Structure 1
Amino acid sequence: MVSLAQLSAELGPSLHRAVPGTVPGVQLSGVHVSELEDPTAYLEGGELLLTTGIPLGGTAATASAYVRRLAARGVAALGLGLGEGLDSVPPALIEACAGERLELMVVPDGVPFLDVSRAFWDLAGRSGQADLIAGLGTQTALARAAMRPDALPSVVQGLAQALGGWAAYLPADGGAETIWPTGSAALLPHLREETARLNRAGAHSAATFWLHGSPVVEYPILVGRRIEGFLAIGSGRTVTKADRQIIMTVCVLLALKAQQHEELTGSSAVLGSAVAKLIVRGHVEAARLLAADVGLGPLPERVRMLAARTEDGDLRALAVTVAGLTVEDGAPGPGAALAMSRLRFAEDGLGFFLLDTADLVPAAAPEPEEYDGGLLPWEGGPDAAGGSPSGTSEARAHGEPLPAGMEADGSIRLTTADQPGRPAAGEQAGRESGSDTAGRPRTGAAWTGPVPLADAASQAAVLRRAALQAPAGRLVGTAGDEDSRADRWVDALAGYQRADLLGAVAAYLRRRGHWEETARDLAIHRNSLRHRIAVAQRLLGVSLDDPDTAAHLWLALRRRGL
């Protein structure tokens, strides 16, 4: 935009203040000429209004009323052209403008108003061209940064510097984040929470929310229809059209890098799957030779094998789900080792992972990050106006890239009506998190203790059986025998509060699955019995009609005196 100070400097003596002093840098939206007594119906605010003085009426009262109308409309400045009606500036007009804080400028006799208009639009054109050139230069620099080995940190840093704020990239799979400047790392816990919510919703549009009283915008980085990560931005100033173009360029660059990484990862996954299958089938030396030939590097000497139930064979999504399962006995879980493992494959409804024991060393707990109030370069926000409290997030879908131009029309609530052909938000979240639409986890998993790589094949059958029988939502071990696992099933049934599942299962097994006889023993309707048995099987993640399961569970019940 063009300021009044820039326009006055461009025109020199052809546009100066009525009262000596420095011309303010107020921004102008345009230059308008009118001799109407009330031109406000044709003004939008922010203009430099030019007049020869006809609307002033020759009296102090008329001049004062005229100035009040302009000030109420938000006119930036009034320009009085001398020579046609007035030879000097009326003192009453100077006083009225001072009272309404409306800047009063003078166009000397003999200077056409057209010169002022032309100067304004010349400046506006040059300003836009300068922004475009600067934007193109920044985009070129970002594209070059994207070609470097450390592309992600370089691109994030370049974007943050271009916008005068901070920027962060958060992978959708929960991997390590990238943020610049690094001093803004205290924002990451809040960004992770918001990103996880958007990822569960499967939101494919940008969203805005408030963080510590300041606006933040997040963009999904898409490869096809899958979200690879989120780009979060906090701008330290009002953004321009060129800034928005830079942001879109960064989103495209990050999507291209993600697609390249996916292609490389896909090739590596195929090779890693072949190596892992050789290990599980007992061909360890062949696996070592193949790994060396295809560049997978030396294989770990000790591993923990993990297997989890999967419906679609998507090992990447399965790794995220398993990382969030409750680990048996409260032991440390696999954590990031799942995402790091290249030795994985899917087979017969199970996903298998071979985890290097060196990657399973629990990391030291980080010091809690606290927001010190000094990371963000601006103040104010909704707190000052009684809006959203600091530290809360109200995501809003919008079509503009940054807070200065955002159109926050409503909270993101993805439904089948919002996006035809896509599952509802709860259903989509369930698919991605391994849960049903009510949030109950479906996936169960099991893992072995640390074993030499050469002994991994001997653990495969036990691991497979344990994974198929693992309770939904839990990661169990295989070190215990079947009786120990059955004892845990009994504890789970006894802990269920809404119905007597333990008695129902005991009676069902005692009657060897006969519904009528079992219902008669329990004095309940057979449909109520069917419901209780179905709840018990979902709770345990097993089928009571499986002879092995039924035998061990029955013996565990007998040990409890049932």
Structure 2
Amino acid sequence: MPTVAEAPTLRALLGRGDLHLRLEGDENSLDQGALDRPLRWVHSSDLTDPTPFLSEGLALLTTGTQFQAAADDASVYLAYVRRLSARGVVGLGFGTEVVRDGIPPLLAEACRAEQMPLFEVPYRTPFIAVARAGAEAIAAQSYARRSWALAAQRAISLAALRPDGLGATLAELARQLDAWVGLFDAAGTLTREHPSSLEQTVAAELRAEVGVVLRRGARAGSSLRIEGVPFTLQTLGRGGRLRGVIAMAAGDLDQEGRGVVTAVVAMAGLALEQQQGLDRARTLLRAGLVHSLRSDDPTLARRIARDLWGGLPAAPILVAMTDAGAARRDAAREWLELRADERGGGLFFGRGDDGLVIVVRVGDDEVLDEFADRFGARIGVADPSGYDAFSGATDQARLARDRGVARVSHFADVARTGVLSVPPSDEARTVAAAALAPLVRHDLDHGTALLETVRTWLANDCSHEATARALGVHRHTVRARIAAAERALDSDLSSFAARAEIWAALRLSS
């Protein structure tokens, strides 16, 4: 953040020549930065314990009357300085030649032991002059910060009027804060940054933290440190529908800095909400093109896609279908938009009746694996095809998605499991149950095992010997049970059609 006025510090106060203040001892004996802590006020007190009336960041002035009874008791001085240090006092000024000449040596020793800056206030410099100088410096800093905030907000407002208002706003914020600023979209992808200077390891850890914030889904601001660099995160959008995150390589911001950031967050949120209407129209257009492609005539879709996105992926293509849920639909869409822009017509997507359809060139299917990993989605991929077989390809993709066991399942793998691996309908299950009902009733009424015998018999290619071995019975028992099953079913199981019917019913009912 730019320094627009000298910050009020003990060093700045000691540097005022008109006050004639003198630091006791050597600055090098103090902790580094002890004289550069923010100075929030100057107060005077001769109480033995003034800490109940002090605040952090204050410089205390005293004439030492509280030490008159202490004589040479070093513990009194040490306890006094420790109380001040614990309260957050940044410096102690001793007014000489009022109660005694010079600074008490035991007080100087206690201040050195506690790393408390100690300075002399000569008799000719009234305490009120020191207090007024501190107040003037604080007021000047406050005025300068307010002036900076007003100028920064004006510059940011003007930047928002540029063609790329969002990008210009973020660039101006980075300039005003003199810090790195980045915008992550709803998918957790870094879409804009100013300047481009983050190290890879820092960027990766920051991206992971942004992903956690977005998955949480609640509006929030947070701070963290990555490899010593402080970052502030601010979410964009409504709770449950976050539109992204603004990240800044800045630690604790003062009130004016937070006000500038709040203005940018509001502008960015408004810009993204306005863009939402355009995104909705684009989503509907893509869905319409998917519907058009299902007619197996790509003429209209090609013309529109060429004008808007650089065209459709060149055939042969892979048609995929995913089950990305509504909770992450916006993030998935934004991620796919970025990938489509990168490929310049090499990727197309749109919502269909049964899920999100993704189309890529054959050989470019790595984007499908990346999508599945990022969004935890299941994806079905059809066999390579042309646009004249698009409707069949979407059916294959849906079946592969619903029946596949892998995160990304290909129709060719699902098809190898056979025709009867296709999900049965409720109607098919009803018919199957009716077909097997005579065997079920016979077993219940007579204590037989006709259903299990028929199942084992068909599984062993209708071999009586193999079935007998599998069931541990005599082959004549198997023959008798099959005959009883034929009577119960009123069907001749020696025909292929009858066997296939019962086999299908058994598969559908399992």
Which deviations, in whole Å up to 9, do the C-alpha atoms of 1:201-244 show, x marking residues without a partner? 32332344564576654332225741122334443x65433333
Residues 1:98 and 1:194: Cα distance change in structure 2 (over 3 Å): closer
Could you tell me how far apart the structure 1 residues matched to 2:24 and 2:255 are?
A: 35
Query: Residue 117 of structure 1: CA displacement?
Result: 1.5
In the alignment, structure 1 residue 37 sits paired with structure 2 residue 48: yes
Q: Secondary structure at the match of 1:231?
A: strand
Could you tell me how far apart the structure 2 residues matched to 1:250 and 1:516 are?
A: 74
Could you tell me how far apart the structure 2 residues matched to 1:211 and 1:477 are?
A: 41
Query: Residue 475 of structure 1: CA displacement?
Result: 3.8
In the alignment, residue 15 of structure 1 is paired with which amino acid? L
1:413-424 map, 5 Å: none
Correspondence for 1:28 among 6, 28, 39: 39
Higher relative contact order (CA 8 A, sep 6+): 1
Residues 1:479 and 1:183: Cα distance change in structure 2 (over 3 Å): same
1:60-99 map, 5 Å: 60-61=71-72, 65-66=76-77, 68-74=79-85, 75-82=89-96, 84-86=98-100, 88-90=102-104, 93-99=107-113
- Looking at CA atoms only, which structure, 1 or 2, has the larger radius of gyration? 2
Could you tell me how far apart the structure 2 residues matched to 1:267 and 1:461 are?
A: 26
CA contact (8 A) 1:2 1:124 kept: yes
Could you tell me how far apart the structure 2 residues matched to 1:181 and 1:321 are?
A: 21
CA contact (8 A) 1:322 1:475 kept: no
In the alignment, structure 1 residue 353 sits paired with structure 2 residue 364: no
Residues 1:123 and 1:212: Cα distance change in structure 2 (over 3 Å): closer
1:311-460 map, 5 Å: 316=330, 343-347=349-353, 350-357=354-361, 360=364, 362=366, 445-457=379-391, 459-460=393-394
Residues 1:11 and 1:153: Cα distance change in structure 2 (over 3 Å): same
1:506-525 map, 5 Å: 517=440
Query: Residue 120 of structure 1: CA displacement?
Result: 0.9
Which deviations, in whole Å up to 9, do the C-alpha atoms of 1:432-473 show, x marking residues without a partner? 967xxxxxxxx7543333433344245455555x26743476
Residue 49 of structure 1: aligned partner: 60
Residues 1:171 and 1:485: Cα distance change in structure 2 (over 3 Å): farther
In the alignment, residue 446 of structure 1 is paired with which amino acid? G
CA contact (8 A) 2:183 2:190 kept: no
In the alignment, structure 1 residue 304 sits paired with structure 2 residue 318: yes
Residues 1:114 and 1:154: Cα distance change in structure 2 (over 3 Å): same
Query: Residue 111 of structure 1: CA displacement?
Result: 3.5
Structure 1 unaligned segments of length 5 or more: list them: 324-332, 367-431, 435-442, 491-505, 524-550
Residues 1:168 and 1:553: Cα distance change in structure 2 (over 3 Å): farther
* RMSD, aligned α-carbons: 5.1
Could you tell me how far apart the structure 1 residues matched to 2:358 and 2:37 are?
A: 65
In the alignment, residue 263 of structure 1 is paired with which amino acid? G
Residue 486 of structure 2: aligned partner: none
Indicate the structure with greater helix content.
Answer: 2
Could you tell me how far apart the structure 2 residues matched to 1:67 and 1:73 are?
A: 10
Query: Residue 6 of structure 1: CA displacement?
Result: 1.3
Q: Secondary structure at the match of 1:305?
A: strand
Could you tell me how far apart the structure 1 residues matched to 2:204 and 2:438 are?
A: 52
CA contact (8 A) 2:383 2:393 kept: no
Q: Secondary structure at the match of 2:261?
A: helix
Aligned residues: 428
Could you tell me how far apart the structure 1 residues matched to 2:98 and 2:448 are?
A: 106
Could you tell me how far apart the structure 2 residues matched to 1:86 and 1:515 are?
A: 116
Query: Residue 30 of structure 1: CA displacement?
Result: 1.9
Could you tell me how far apart the structure 1 residues matched to 2:501 and 2:246 are?
A: 51
Residue 255 of structure 1: aligned partner: 269
Could you tell me how far apart the structure 2 residues matched to 1:223 and 1:215 are?
A: 25
In the alignment, structure 1 residue 229 sits paired with structure 2 residue 249: no
Correspondence for 2:130 among 89, 107, 116: 116
Residue 128 of structure 1: aligned partner: 142
1:145-224 map, 5 Å: 145=159, 159=173, 166-175=180-189, 177-178=191-192, 180-208=195-223, 211-212=226-227, 216-223=231-238
Identity %: 23
In the alignment, residue 409 of structure 2 is paired with which amino acid? V
Correspondence for 2:9 among 3, 18, 37: 3
Q: TM-score if structure 2 supplies the norm length? A: 0.65
In the alignment, residue 216 of structure 2 is paired with which amino acid? A
Query: Residue 69 of structure 1: CA displacement?
Result: 0.8
In the alignment, residue 382 of structure 2 is paired with which amino acid? T
Correspondence for 1:284 among 283, 290, 298: 298
In the alignment, residue 418 of structure 2 is paired with which amino acid? A
Query: Residue 50 of structure 1: CA displacement?
Result: 1.8
In the alignment, residue 39 of structure 1 is paired with which amino acid? P
Residue 489 of structure 2: aligned partner: none
Query: Residue 126 of structure 1: CA displacement?
Result: 1.0
Query: Residue 128 of structure 1: CA displacement?
Result: 1.8
Residues 1:468 and 1:105: Cα distance change in structure 2 (over 3 Å): closer
Could you tell me how far apart the structure 2 residues matched to 1:160 and 1:313 are?
A: 32
CA contact (8 A) 1:448 1:479 kept: yes
Structure 2 unaligned segments of length 5 or more: list them: 1-6, 29-33, 423-428, 450-499
Q: TM-score if structure 1 supplies the norm length? A: 0.60
Query: Residue 357 of structure 1: CA displacement?
Result: 1.7
Residues 1:315 and 1:71: Cα distance change in structure 2 (over 3 Å): closer
Query: Residue 57 of structure 1: CA displacement?
Result: 0.5
